[in-house]
Amino acid sequence: MTTHAPTDPDEPAASPTRPAARPWFLQPVIAVVSVAAVLLALQWFDSHRQMSALQSELSQRLSAADAENRGTAEQAGAAARDLETRLAALEARFQESSRSRDDALITEIEQTLLLAGQQLQLAGNPRAALAVLQTLDTRLAGADPAFGALRKAVARDVERLKAAPQIDIAAFAARLDEVAATIDGLPLMTEPRSPETAAARKTAPADGNAWTRLAREFWHDLSDLLRIQRIDAVDAVPLAPSQAYFLRETLRLRLLGARVALLARNDKSYRADLKAARDWLTRYFDARSESVAAALATVRQLQEHAAGIDPLDLAGSLDAVRALRARR
């Protein structure tokens, strides 16, 4: 059992502890500060929410922009690749077109050179071939640099044709024809009766009586059977009529062979045929006759001017154009 100590009635009773009273003018300040704190907190939360929303929106926009940029980059890359393909195709077409144009030019030049070379060999006209080469040189002046070697070869052929002796092939051939036409009338060295003697006998006056004319005819017939004639050529032998015919025909063939060699610009055959014709004229024909002397002089002159018929060709230019075709 609990016992309580006796209390003194004279002592005052104890009262509970109370906080000290605040001054009355601080209460509005506290209230304002509290409201401001609440407002600041609300504003901070609102700002934080807006920042979060802005960050989210910015992130979305950046993602969308990045995706759009990737799409644009892919489209740009595809466009660039397509453009590169088209440029490559255009370049290939241009190169093919240029190659085709150059190939056509090469073919045309080759055909022109072949025709000019044939005319040069057949007709022996270097002036026409020279004109063709000069025209080709003018065309090659604006061509591709790859044609430089061909143009140099054409220039060399031009200089060679300019330096070649210019002879009149037609005039030389005409003189050979003139000599060949006189062969039948040329007197042989061992011919028993010259055409001049026979003609003089036919035109001799028939004077005297019948016995005189008979004696003259008898003497002429006798002199035809036996005639003394001086022959300067040691190896000259009398020829039968058939042999004389074949001699003249062979000489004519030699002159015609020289004419063919002249037109073909075959210097070796030309010289050989002229030498044989000159030797036969000297050996078998009477050089004291004016017609034989004229034929010998013509053949001698044609021999002396034979240096100008050397064969001309365009081999340098043809080799260059074929080498260019092979390289391409």
Q: How far, in Å, CA of 105 to CA of 98, rounded?
A: 10
Band (pLDDT 50/70/90 cuts) for residue 152 is very high
Rg (alpha carbons) of the chain, rounded to whole number: 64
pLDDT at 12 > cutoff 50: no
**Higher per-residue pLDDT: 217 or 232:** 217
**Residue 183: what pLDDT?**
93
Q: How confident is the model at residue 274 (pLDDT cuts 50, 70, 90)?
A: very high
Question: Which residues have CB under 8 Å from 216's CB, separation 6+?
Answer: 208
Per-residue pLDDT, 18: 53
| Confidence (pTM) | 0.47
Residue 153: count other Cβ atoms within 10 Å of its Cβ.
22
Cα–Cα distance measured from residue 220 to residue 226, given in angstroms and rounded to the nearest whole number? 10
Rounded mean pLDDT, 233-260: 78
Q: At residue 228, does pLDDT exceed 60?
A: no
pLDDT single digits (tens) 73-123: 788 778 778 878 877 777 777 666 677 788 888 989 999 899 888 877 776
Judge whether residue 260 has pLDDT over 70. yes
pLDDT digits (tens, 9 = 90+) for 164-189: 777 778 888 899 999 999 999 999 88
* Span 189-210, pLDDT tens digits: 876 544 444 444 545 555 556 7
C-alpha–C-alpha distance, residues 99 and 108, integer Å:
14
Residues 287-312 pLDDT 10s: 889 999 999 999 999 988 776 666 67
Predicted local distance difference test score (pLDDT) of residue 199: 47
Supply the pLDDT for residue 154. 92
Q: 148-163 and 315-327 are packed helices; what angle lies between their axes, rounded to 10 degrees? A: 170
Task: Please determine, for residue 17, whether its predicted confidence score (pLDDT) is greater than 80.
Answer: no
CA-based nearest residue to 311, from 246, 267, 259, 254: 267
Q: Note whether 120 and 129 are within 8 A (CB).
A: yes
Sequence spans of domains, the chain: 102-164+315-327, 167-192+237-311
Q: What is the pLDDT confidence band of residue 2, given thresholds at 50, 70 and 90? A: very low
Token pair, residue 111, equals 């055909």
Q: What is the mean pLDDT of residues 218-246?
A: 60
pLDDT by residue (tens digit) across 24-35? 666 777 777 777
**Beta bridge pairs of residue 285:** 188
Q: What is the average pLDDT value for the chain, to the nearest integer?
A: 77
- pLDDT band for position 4 (cuts 50, 70, 90): very low
- In angstroms, the CA 31 to CA 9 distance is 47
Span 50-56, average pLDDT: 80
pLDDT at 204: 52
**Distance, CA of 312 to CA of 124 (rounded, Å):** 8
Phi-psi region of 265 (alpha: psi -120 to 50; beta: other; left: phi over 0): left
- CA distance to 104, 156, 325, per residue, from 319 (Å): 17, 12, 10
